[in-house]
Structure 1
C-alpha cells in the first residue's frame, strides 16, 4: 500500500513521544499554515495536479432550486458522469487507492464494483468553526493519559496532528453540525437471502459546538444522544441515553437504558467498546457506530501517513433512494449495496492504526481507519481478529447539509467478510434535521421516563 512520504517525520515523532505524555499545541508558525497552504480544518489546500482538485471552500451556498421542505436533500452533483469503474477484473490496476477491505470485496464478490466520479471537495468550514480551529491549534492538547482533550472548543482540536491519538480525537470532535434529529432504519442482509430491520428516532446535541454558549459555557460533554427504538415490536419503546465527556479519563461515558417490559431506567455501562450492537444483529460493536466512537483507551494508536484513496463521498443518490421510490430489496440486495446507487471519489485521507494494548480486551485485535482530510470523518475502517485475519470492512456515506454548512456521515455499511452478511446502520427515513434538542434537561435519566412510549 502506497503512502505519501512527507508525513513520515510525523510518524517517527509520534512513536518517540509514546502514548502517555501530554503533547503541546503547535507553534504559531505552524498554525499560520491554516490560513495559507492548509485549509482552515488542516487539509492540504492544493490538489494533486491530476484528479484531486484544490479545496475552494466546499459547499457554502444553498444550491439553486433547493427546497427547505421535502423528504430528500438536493444533490448538487447529480449531473456528474462516471469517470471509470473499478471491478473484480481490473481492481489490481487501482490497488494503490484501495484498502484491504475493498480488495477483499472484489475477491469475494465478482459482481462488486465501484463507480468513480469526479472528486468534489464539498466539505465546508464555517468561519466561526475555522476561527475556533485556529485557536485550538495554538492551545489544545491531550491530557497525560491521552483520553481527554484540554483547551479546545468549537473546532477541530488538532488540525495539524502529530500522532494517531490526535487524529482519532479529531474524528470524535469533528464538525458535523450542532446536532441532529432524524428517523432511520437499520437493515441486515444475510447470504441465504433473509433480511431483518429495525428503526429508531435519534436526537443528538453537540455541546462542544454550541456557538451560543461559547467556550465559557461548555459543560465538558461533546455529545448527548437520546435514541428511541420504533421497531421491531420487541424493541419498540426502548430508550438509550448516552453522554460522552471530552475527558474520558476523568469521567467515563455515562449511559442509561429503558426497557418497557421492566419499566425501569437503568445504568448501562456495557453500551460501549466491543459489546455487540443489537441494531446490527451482532454484526458490529457499539464502538463501530459513527465508524468509531467513545474512549480510545483500549488501543495503542499509530499515525501511519496520508494516502490518496477511493472513498464514498457526496452520497446523495444513496441517501435519497428510498424516498425517491427505490425498494429496500433493490437498494440492499444480498452481499453488498447496489453499486448503481454508490458514488466513489478519490480523496486524501489520514491513515491511523489501532493495536490492542496488552492486557486489554476487544474482539478486534487491530483496526485501521481512513479519515477524510477535509472533514475529519472516518470514511472506511478495516478490522482484524485475533489471528490477524481481516474480519470486518466498514464504510460510511458522507453528504453536506446546507442549513449548517456541515458534512456528516450517514448509512454505515458494515460487512462481515467471513460470513458474507452485512448491515446498514442509520439509513435516514425522510429529511435529516441537523439540530436536535439543545436543552440539557432533555438528556437526563429523569426525562427518559417522560419520553418513553410503548
Structure 2
C-alpha cells in the first residue's frame, strides 16, 4: 500500500507539473519583468564571482561607428582572456557542450575557442518589452504545446517559461527587428576547404509592421522570402514561407519559384527534415535559424540553467574587412575571428516522439538567457550518436535593439564537412531595417515577379 501511495503521489506531482507548465504567469511573476528580472525575463544580477556581470540595459546606439549599415566593433581593443584548445579543453568541460568537446576531438590541431570578457549587450525597444509583459499573462499553448496563441502580443511568448516547449517558442517568437532585407551568403566546404558561395537576398516581415494587415490572421508569425542571387546557374530560384504559430491548425505555407520551369508551386518539403536550400544535403530545412518550424515531432524536456562559453558579440566575425575566404576554412570556420563569452543559458532536450519521423532522434539545445536565442544545438542520429553540432554566432545590433546571428555553422562530425550560413561580410551594405513592405509583397504572384530573369 505504501508503494502504491508513493506511486500515486508521484503521478499527482507529475500531473500538477504538466498542468502548471501550460499556465500563464501570475501577476506576481509578470511583475518581476523589468524589476528583479530583465524586461525579457533573464536574471538581472550577475553570477557569484562576477565573471557574468549584471544587466544594465544593454549596448545602446552610438556604441561604435557604423558605415554603410555595417556595425563597428565597440570591443575592438579587447584581447582574449584565454583560449581553449584540445590540449586544455578538459579543464573547462563543465562550461562546454558535448558538441563543443566533440569538435575539439575532431579537429584537435585547429579548433579553438577564444574566450573574452562577458558583456551583456542585448536590449530591445520598449514596445517589445511591453509585448513580452503582455505575453507573460496571455500567451497560451495549444495542441498539447505544438501550437501557440498570442491574443494581445506578438513577441516573446513565455518570458517566464515553465516547460521546454515554451523555450522553443521563445526562440521562434523572439524580436528580429522591424521588417528587413539583407544579402547573405552560404557555403558548404569540401574536406579540403574548397567551396562555392551561394548568395541570397532575404526579406522578412512581421505582421505588427505591415500596413493594412488583417488582424484576424493572428496565426501568422512571419513572412519570409528568399531569392538565390548567386551563382548564375541557381539565380532566380525564390522561396516564400508563411510561418504560423499553430502548424497543426494551419500548417506552414510555402511556395517556390523555379527559374528553369518558370512556374510557382507549393513546397511542403520546406519543413522538418526536408533538404535545406543549396546545402548539398548538409542541413535540413529546420536547421535554418538553428531551429525553426513546428515543435510537434519532439518531446521537449526543460533541464534548467547553466553557464556556458557561447559565441557572443561577434563584431570581428561580421566585419566587412574580412572576406569570405578569411572565414571559410577546411573543417570549420576561422575560429580566430570568433568571440566567445561566459553567459547563462537555458538547456532543453528534444526527443523524437514514438512514431514521428526525422533524421535527428534528439536535439540538445541551449538558449541564451538574455535573448531566448538558440546558440548551441547538438544533433543525434537514429542510433543515438552525436552527429551534427550547430553554433549561432550572435552580435547585438546596438542601433536597432536586436540580436541577430553573424554566422550560423552546422558541423557534421562524421562527414568532416560543414555548412556556414548568414554571412554578410561581402554584401553591398548591412542589413536594412524599417523596410516598407505590404502584404502584397509576400504573395505567390510576387514570388514569380522576383524570380524573373
TM-score greater than 0.5 by the shorter chain: yes
Say if 1:304 and 1:28 are closer, same or farther in 2 by CA, change over 3 A. Answer: same
Q: CA deviation at 1:280?
A: 2.1
Q: Partners of 2:14 and 2:314 in 1: how far apart?
A: 36
Most deviating of 255-264 and 131-140:
131-140
Could you tell me which residue of structure 1 aligns to residue 30 of structure 2?
31
Tell me how large the CA RMSD over aligned residues is.
Answer: 2.2
Is the CA contact (8 Å cut-off) linking 1:204 and 1:437 kept in structure 2? Answer: no
Figure out how many residues of one structure are paired with residues of the other and give that number. 437
Q: CA deviation at 1:214?
A: 10
Matches within 5 A, 1:329-368: 329-368=325-364
Q: CA deviation at 1:22?
A: 8.2
Matches within 5 A, 1:137-176: 137-150=136-149, 151-176=151-176
Matches within 5 A, 1:272-421: 272-320=271-319, 323-324=320-321, 326-421=322-417
Say if 1:310 and 1:380 are closer, same or farther in 2 by CA, change over 3 A. Answer: same
Q: CA deviation at 1:315?
A: 0.7
Q: CA deviation at 1:38?
A: 0.8
Could you tell me which residue of structure 1 aligns to residue 75 of structure 2?
77
Q: CA deviation at 1:192?
A: 2.9
Say if 1:438 and 1:327 are closer, same or farther in 2 by CA, change over 3 A. Answer: closer
Could you tell me which residue of structure 2 aligns to residue 439 of structure 1?
438
Could you tell me which residue of structure 2 aligns to residue 206 of structure 1?
206
Q: Partners of 1:261 and 1:70 in 2: how far apart?
A: 35
Most deviating of 210-219 and 114-123:
210-219
SS where residue 80 of structure 1 aligns?
coil
Could you tell me which residue of structure 1 aligns to residue 7 of structure 2?
none
Q: CA deviation at 1:219?
A: 4.2
Say if 1:405 and 1:14 are closer, same or farther in 2 by CA, change over 3 A. Answer: farther
Could you tell me which residue of structure 2 aligns to residue 7 of structure 1?
none
SS where residue 309 of structure 2 aligns?
strand
Q: CA deviation at 1:39?
A: 0.6
SS where residue 32 of structure 2 aligns?
helix
Most deviating of 19-28 and 179-188:
19-28
Say if 1:347 and 1:298 are closer, same or farther in 2 by CA, change over 3 A. Answer: same
Is the CA contact (8 Å cut-off) linking 1:41 and 1:156 kept in structure 2? Answer: yes
Say if 1:264 and 1:17 are closer, same or farther in 2 by CA, change over 3 A. Answer: farther
Q: Partners of 1:436 and 1:22 in 2: how far apart?
A: 37
Is the CA contact (8 Å cut-off) linking 2:61 and 2:398 kept in structure 1? Answer: yes
Is the CA contact (8 Å cut-off) linking 2:211 and 2:438 kept in structure 1? Answer: no
- Of the three residues 87, 90, 93, the one matched with 1:89 is 87
TM-score (norm 1): 0.91
Q: CA deviation at 1:365?
A: 0.2
Could you tell me which residue of structure 2 aligns to residue 48 of structure 1?
47
Is the CA contact (8 Å cut-off) linking 2:193 and 2:328 kept in structure 1? Answer: no
Is the CA contact (8 Å cut-off) linking 1:20 and 1:144 kept in structure 2? Answer: no
Q: CA deviation at 1:102?
A: 0.2
Could you tell me which residue of structure 1 aligns to residue 247 of structure 2?
248
Q: Partners of 1:412 and 1:453 in 2: how far apart?
A: 29
CA deviation vs aligned residue, 1:49-80 (integer Å, no higher than 9, x gap): 3210001111233225x23x426211111122
Could you tell me which residue of structure 1 aligns to residue 234 of structure 2?
235
